[in-house]
With several copies, the nearest count.
Chain A
Amino acid sequence: MKILYFAWLRTTIGCAEEEITLPDDVVTVADVLDLLREKGGAYAAALGEDKVIRIAVNQDYANMDDPVKQGDEFAIFPPVTGG
């Protein structure tokens, strides 16, 4: 699965895009976030419970219990501030 980071998530984690392989028990958005938090360090800090983040799966906003699969494009970013 391709993971994309934007804005302060990108700068904090120090990565704009990475590829991960989903274990069989990772089936929801929340599972993916847990998997990333387990990497610890900047990941754990950036994705902590106190952080306000948004998730898009295949370029649509997604909720924590939405399903994910290996081929998805998974993006993590802060609330948007354009306009």
Chain B
Amino acid sequence: MIRVQAENFDVGAEINALSNGNTAIGGICSFVGLVRDFQHTKDDATRVSAMTLEHYPGMTEKKLQEIEEIARNRWPLEDVLIIHRYGRMEPGENIVLVVTASAHRKAAFEACEFLMDYLKTKAPFWKLEEDEKGEGSWVDAREADDAAAQKWDPSAGS
């Protein structure tokens, strides 16, 4: 299941709801991304006082659904949840949550990391960070994220 929303979410409640009652699940892996208080795109860390996530309504939902489908085809998953927020957020707030449930530990871990790597490079979201003076700057895409997503491509060499 995917959700794209402005509201915050309760990580704990979401994970608890996912596992409830399905005794075929042996492991649940989750990852939550949060707003940090420093900027990671520059050599010298600058304090970040807030962040605004812009997205492309329609395409976002489409891409997240595609990504979920790819993961379900690739790993034996009992359940998948992807929540991604948009709008203005302050340090410490949740941005994104991915939860994967499987009979098998390795499948849950791999699928969760795959989903995070893929949505970082495929889902149409853009971060605008505000520094302490209230000045905004668009965050540059990181090559490390492309490399992370690339490693899941079966056509790429090992």
Contact = CB atoms under 8 A, between A and B. Distances in A.
Task: Answer yes or no: do A and B interact.
Answer: yes
Give chain B's interface secondary structure class. Answer: mixed
A43 B121 CA distance: 25
Interface stretch (A30-38, A64-72, A73-81): A73-81
Given A56-B56, A59-B58, A78 B126 contact: yes
Contacts, number: 77
Interface in A27-54: 52
A75 B55 contact: no
B58 A83 contact: no
Interface string B48-66: 0000011110110011000
B106 interface: no
A60 B61 CA distance: 11
Interface residues of B, number: 30
Contact of A80 (B58, B96, B105, B141): B141
A79 B139 CA distance: 10
Contacts of A82: 53, 55, 84, 95-96, 119-120, 123-127
Interface of B: 33, 53-56, 58-59, 62-63, 84, 95-96, 105, 116, 119-128, 138-142, 145
List the 10 shortest-distance A-B pairs measured between CB atoms, nearest first.
A82-B125, A79-B141, A7-B126, A83-B120, A59-B59, A81-B139, A8-B138, A81-B127, A59-B62, A82-B123
Interface of A: 4, 6-8, 10-11, 52, 56, 59-61, 75, 77-83
